[in-house]
Amino acid sequence: MNALAWLGGLAFFAVRWGRSSLAHAPPPGQTMAEAFKIGVQSLPVLLTISIFVGSNLALQGYNAFTPLGGQRLVGMFVALAGVRELAPLIAAAMIAAKAGTEMASQIAVMRTREQIEALEVMAVNPYWWLVTPRLYGILLVMPALTLIAVFTTLFSSFCVAVFQLGLSSSVFVEFVSKNVSMRDLLAGEVKALVFAVIICFVSCYCGFFSEKGPEGVGKATNQAVVVSCVVCVTFNYLVSQVLYG
Amino acid sequence: MLSTLAALGRFGTFAGRVAWRVLTPPWNAADFFRHTWIVSLRCLGPVVAVTFPFGMVIALQGLAIFDMFGAQRLLPSLISVAILREISPVLASVLVAAQAGSSYAAELGAMRIKEELDATEVMAVDSLRWHVAPRVAALSLACPVLNTVGNMAGLAGGFVMSVGIQGENAGVFMANLWNFTRTGDLVGGVVKTATFGLIIGLVACYHGFYATGGAAGVGKGVNDTVVRATLCFFAANYLLTSAFFGA
């Protein structure tokens, strides 16, 4: 019941943002600054995670197919599981953890210090001022970050497959390139855009209506990352069902 | 560079001091069980809500592959191996880091900012032993428990997708479910998640314990906790996977 009320509040938040801000230009300068911040700050985390995801995929694929005598299928496994599902999803989880929590805690701190009320007093619409640059910023960088995650995953699984597991590099590359099409990459981009919208609205909503004080900030940040992850995984299933089902 | 090294050293000292207090009596058993119970309950919903759809996605994608070879009966074996070995331990730990880790960092951080931790120290109560050790131990017990729930939810998701939606035969699904799965896979999952829980607990309590700078500082600590804990246990995951299932 509480969860339903919460989702309703989120929907109202999104609608109210749309009504007040869709028709207006975003705050000048801020959008690029947010895009730069989200993109550049998340990059090292994203690269590290993608490297480990790729290496694990290769290890597990090798293990799963060895009883079948199909070690050569590792390339196919990495291509399908990594490119289609894991890389976009893990990228979204890490951006929720890095950029999403930052949005939530920044806005929650503004709520605690009554800066949001101050914006309203100055007749600046807080939805437009706070949410718009973050939304456009994350929409700008998320597809690029997802592509980077996909290629880092492929690269690291190539390294593990060839150097640790001793597979032939030409076979690996052949199976990967046979099983990844332009359509898979585009589907990943569609997912990235959906996840970007989810992460931004959920995190801003959590921060916007947080309780005041240090506990309130901590709780908002906590809630932001958990809810974004759960909603992203659910939408991942829906998007996959529509695109591949 | 130097400050990173200094922080690493401080984290190492912190981990050592906590480990000593976890291993030697007196233990704060009441808090340990209370925290385990609370964490398990609070993470239960998110873990199920994430592993169940992921099981469905594996079934969806796996079916697309195996249809090409006409080998649909291999699908349940693939699902169980993927879920038990990798998906459930990793996803359950991500959710534990996001939910429990960040709430520990927020709790301890708020206690530090309000000088409650300093107050306990003044009363000659060892705050590491009293507040931190039970939390770290609780996470490393709760993670395997949640992993087991995640295993069940993931398999159920795979079952619902392949039998309920795609119309595979339920008997064939159940008969092939455990073809490639060994006891070692389950034990490996438990060992992995216990280690991940330990890492998450230490990172989270470290960020809360040394929080500075008011409400904004707590928020930043929570933010850093989720990211760094996830990075650390993904790195540990690669090493543990190589050790258990490696070539």
| A145 lies within 8 A of chain B by CB | no
What is the pTM for the complete model shown?
0.85
Measure in Å the smallest separation between the Cα of B200 and chain A Cα atoms: 14
At B67, the pLDDT band (50, 70, 90 cuts) reads: confident
Q: Helices B133-159 and B29-69 meet at what angle, rounded to 10?
A: 30
Chain A contacts of B182, Cβ < 8 Å? none
For an interface test with A, give the residue of B86, B88, B107, B244 to mutate (most A CBs within 10 A).
Answer: B86
B31 touches chain A (CB under 8 A): no
Contact A198/B at CB under 8 A: no
B49:A166 CB<8 A: no
Give the closest residue to B181 by CA, choosing from B79, B93, B109: B79
Inspect the interface and report whether the beta carbons of B56 and A237 lie closer than 8 Å.
Answer: yes
pLDDT above 90: residue B142: yes
Residues of B in contact with A56 (CB under 8 A): 86, 237-238, 241
CA neighbor of B13 nearest in space, from B196, B200, B210, B197: B210
- Give residue A79's pLDDT band: very low, low, confident or very high (50, 70, 90): confident
> Which residues 49-88 in chain B show a CB within 8 A of chain A?
49-50, 53-54, 56-58, 60-61, 64-65, 74, 78, 81-82, 85-86
Cβ separation of A60 and B85 shorter than 8 Å?
yes
Contact B99 A222 (CB under 8 A): yes
- State the average pLDDT over residues B40-53: 92
User: With pLDDT > 70 as the criterion, what percentage of chain B qualifies?
Assistant: 99
Mutate to test the interface with A, among B112, B212, B222 (most CBs of A within 10 A): B222
User: What is the mean pLDDT of the segment spanning B163-184?
Assistant: 84
Confidence class for position B246, pLDDT limits 50, 70, 90? low
Express each pLDDT in B228-240 by its tens digit: 999 898 999 888 8
Provide, as residue numbers in chain B, all residues whose Cβ is less than 8 Å from the Cβ of A183.
none
Question: Which pLDDT tens digit goes with each residue over B102-111?
Answer: 889 988 998 9
Q: Do A214 and B235 touch (CB under 8 A)?
A: no
Over 80: is that where the pLDDT of B69 sits? no
Contact flag A237-B57 (C-beta cutoff 8 Å)? yes
Residue B32's CB is within 10 A of a number of other CB atoms, namely 18
Q: What percent of chain A has a predicted confidence (pLDDT) above 70? A: 99
Residues A24-60 have pLDDT tens digits of 888 878 889 999 988 888 899 899 999 998 998 888 8
Chain A residue with minimum CA distance to B245: A63
Using alpha carbons only, give the angle B134, B138, B142 rounded to the nearest 5 degrees. Answer: 175
What is the rounded CA–CA span in Å between residue B203 and residue B194?
Answer: 14
Cα of B100 to nearest chain A Cα, Å: 8
A108 touches chain B (CB under 8 A): yes
B194 interfaces chain A, CB cutoff of 8 Å: no
For chain A, positions 211-240, list CB contacts with chain B under 8 A.
213-219, 221-222, 225-226, 229-230, 233-234, 236-237, 240
Contacts by B234-240, CB closer than 8 A, 24 or more apart? B234/A48, B234/A49, B234/A52, B234/A53, B234/B90, B235/A48, B235/A52, B236/B195, B236/B196, B236/B199, B237/A52, B237/A56, B237/B89, B237/B90, B237/B192, B237/B196, B238/A52, B238/A55, B238/A56, B238/A59, B240/B188, B240/B191, B240/B192, B240/B195
